[in-house]
Amino acid sequence: MRKGKLFPVASPYSVISHRPDYRIQATGEFRCPNKEEWFISGAIPEGYQAPNDLSTPYYIGKLVKVKTTVVETVIEENIKKWEREHFCLPCKYHFTKEVEFSEFTQNLSGEKTTFCPKCNKRVTMSSPAKEV
């Protein structure tokens, strides 16, 4: 077991486990836990506190407080353009069109209103924009 690895506090310790910022951190030791020491156990490993000195060896842990941080990673660069599929309800024409933006639009998104290239009516059914 990797030293420093974090495990949830097992549910019997509801006072602690209901607080999402507490974890049991592996110390790297594997031995019999002493009374009140935390250890890691279970098919889905969680942290338990020894009610007395135990005679079975476990991975030892300690109670720590954590802070969750969201990490944003760029997974793709050079995004070129977006397009949507449109379906014209009046004339049943199906077409794909690049998403265009305009300063002169009533759409909150800033997206230019799409008109059907066949009948020139406003398009009423459109798919979510997808990268192309």
Q: Which residues bind Zn ion (CB under 5 A)?
A: 88, 91, 93, 116, 118-119
3-state secondary structure of 17: helix
> Which residue number, 41 or 126, has a Cβ lying nearer to Zn ion?
126
Q: How far is CA 32 from the centre of its chain?
A: 36
> Which residue number, 11 or 124, has a Cβ lying nearer to Zn ion?
124
Report H helices in 13-106. 14-17
Report H helices in the chain. 14-17
Q: How far is the CB of 87 from Zn ion (least distance, A)?
A: 9
In DSSP terms, 60 is beta-bridged to: 39
DSSP secondary structure string, 85-96?
A: EEE-TTT--EEE
Q: How far is the CB of 127 from Zn ion (least distance, A)?
A: 16
> Which residue number, 5 or 112, has a Cβ lying nearer to Zn ion?
112
> Which residue number, 94 or 130, has a Cβ lying nearer to Zn ion?
94
